């Protein structure tokens, strides 16, 4: 099983959905999509072992994968949707009590040995635009790669924002915070808005959890960003309704249901069969 399947505790959530041990979950026989993706479910240069199954959240990555002559796809629905069903009351407040904006800065990625990629952009300009746009208190969420960059973290703290970090996704089965998405879900359910400078996974999670979305500001540059899937211009062409400071909520919810694969969610029995998680004597 590829260690990416453990990112953010995704396998742990699906194991719990199936009634299995979610502290030491069984292996998934293939590759599980771990974030919203504009391509076939993974980055353009991801390496797969021959014959591997690709488990994606929605039907669009499957179709795009087939267009690239890739096979062995199965659509499962996003693990976050299963977590929402498993934890219907986690962090929940009355609708009238929701307040503020949870603002996600687009982040870099991490790997041992100094590998990974940093984001670079004009944080001062972005801070100014956030202050001009948001009418309620703003909490800035930084992934740990930016949270541990003192210059980035201080820029938002000194601007008067509360700055938080949900933890680490893990690497090679080490350091995985299996409660990562639990903490995010609890936060989403108390905020009125979710926003970011790029359309990304957190926006769809926030909409699914009841937030009003916004995507605006300097999208910033990512070191070594692979342009094969079309980058920001392709996102603007394919998902224009998910960009802007005032996005139609009904439209956003419909798109979110599609992108997270709500109609493709599986029963525990179906998922155990798909992943070969049934007990064998």
Cα dihedral across residues 240, 243, 247, 253: positive or negative: positive
Task: Answer whether residue 280 is part of any domain.
Answer: no
> Both 128 and 231 in a single domain?
yes
49 and 167 belong to one structural domain:
no
Residues 124 and 198 in one domain: yes
Whether 256 is in a domain gets the answer no
pLDDT band at 119 (very low <50, low <70, confident <90, very high): confident
Token pair belonging to 262: 């709500």
Under a CB-based contact definition with an 8 Å cutoff, are residues 181 and 170 in contact?
no
- Average pLDDT value over all residues in the chain: 91
Residue 279 lies in a domain: no
Same domain, 15 and 69: yes
Query: Cα(120)–Cα(269) distance, rounded to whole angstroms?
Result: 45
Residue 255 lies in a domain: no
Residue 126 sits in the same domain as residue 231: yes
Residues 173 and 236 in one domain: yes
For residue 253, tell me if it sits in a domain.
no
Of 138-142, 149-153, 181-185, the least confident = 149-153
Structural domain contains residue 281: no
Q: What is the CATH number of the domain that holds 132?
A: 3.40.50
pTM (predicted TM-score)? 0.94
CA angle centred on 271, ends 269 and 276, rounded to 5°: 95
Domain count, the chain: 2
**Is 183 inside any structural domain?**
yes
Tens of pLDDT along 18-31? 999 999 999 999 99
- 70 and 188 housed in the same domain: no
Kindly report which listed range (43-52, 154-163, 172-181) carries the lowest average pLDDT score: 43-52
Helix, strand, coil percentages (3-state) for the chain, rounded to 5, are 40, 15, 45
| Same-domain check for residues 199 and 240 | yes
Domain that holds residue 27: 3-87+261-274
246 pLDDT higher than 90: yes
* Confidence check: pLDDT of 212 > 90: yes
Q: Identify whether residues 149 and 61 lie together within a single domain.
A: no
Q: Give the residue with greater pLDDT, 6 vs 263.
A: 263
Distance CA 54, CA 188 (A): 29
CA separation for the pair 203, 103 (Å, rounded): 9
| Together in a domain, 102 and 218 | yes
On whether residue 254 sits in a domain, the answer given is: no
| pLDDT for residue 202 is more than 80 | yes
Same domain, 23 and 66: yes
Are 80 and 120 members of one domain?
A: no
| CA dist 58 → 38, 64, 176 (Å) | 11, 11, 24
Q: Is the separation of the CB atoms in 223 and 120 below 8 Å?
A: yes
Q: What is the pLDDT of residues 30-75, one digit of tens each?
A: 999 999 999 888 876 667 777 789 999 999 999 999 998 888 999 9
Report the alpha-carbon distance of residue 177 to residue 66 in Å, rounded: 33
DSSP annotation of 189 reads T
């Amino acid at each position: 099983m590829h260690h990416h399947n453990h990112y953010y505790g995704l396998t742990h959530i699906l194991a719990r959905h199936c009634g299995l041990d979610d502290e030491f979950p069984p292996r998934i026989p293939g590759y599980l999509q771990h974030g919203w993706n504009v391509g076939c479910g993974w980055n353009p240069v991801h390496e797969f072992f021959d014959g591997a199954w690709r488990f994606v959240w929605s039907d669009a990555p499957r179709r795009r994968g087939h267009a690239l002559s890739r096979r062995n796809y199965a659509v499962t629905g996003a693990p976050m949707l299963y977590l929402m069903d498993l934890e219907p009351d986690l962090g929940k407040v009355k609708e009238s009590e929701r307040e503020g904006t949870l603002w996600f800065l687009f982040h870099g990625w991490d790997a041992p040995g100094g590998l990974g990629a940093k984001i670079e952009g004009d944080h001062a300009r972005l801070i100014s635009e956030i202050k001009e746009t948001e009418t309620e208190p703003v909490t800035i969420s930084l992934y740990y790669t930016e949270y541990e960059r003192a210059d980035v973290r201080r820029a938002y703290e000194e601007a008067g924002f509360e700055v938080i970090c949900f933890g680490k996704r893990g690497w090679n089965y080490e350091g995985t915070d299996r409660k990562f998405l639990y903490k995010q879900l609890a936060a989403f359910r108390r905020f009125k808005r979710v926003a970011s400078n790029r359309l990304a996974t957190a926006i769809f999670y926030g909409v699914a959890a009841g937030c009003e979305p916004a995507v605006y500001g300097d999208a910033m540059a990512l070191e070594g960003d692979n342009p094969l899937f079309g980058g920001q211009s392709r996102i603007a062409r394919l998902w224009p309704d998910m960009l802007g400071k005032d996005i139609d909520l009904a439209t956003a919810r419909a798109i979110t249901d599609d992108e997270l694969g709500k109609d493709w969610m599986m029963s525990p029995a179906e998922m155990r069969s798909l992943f070969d998680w049934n007990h064998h004597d």
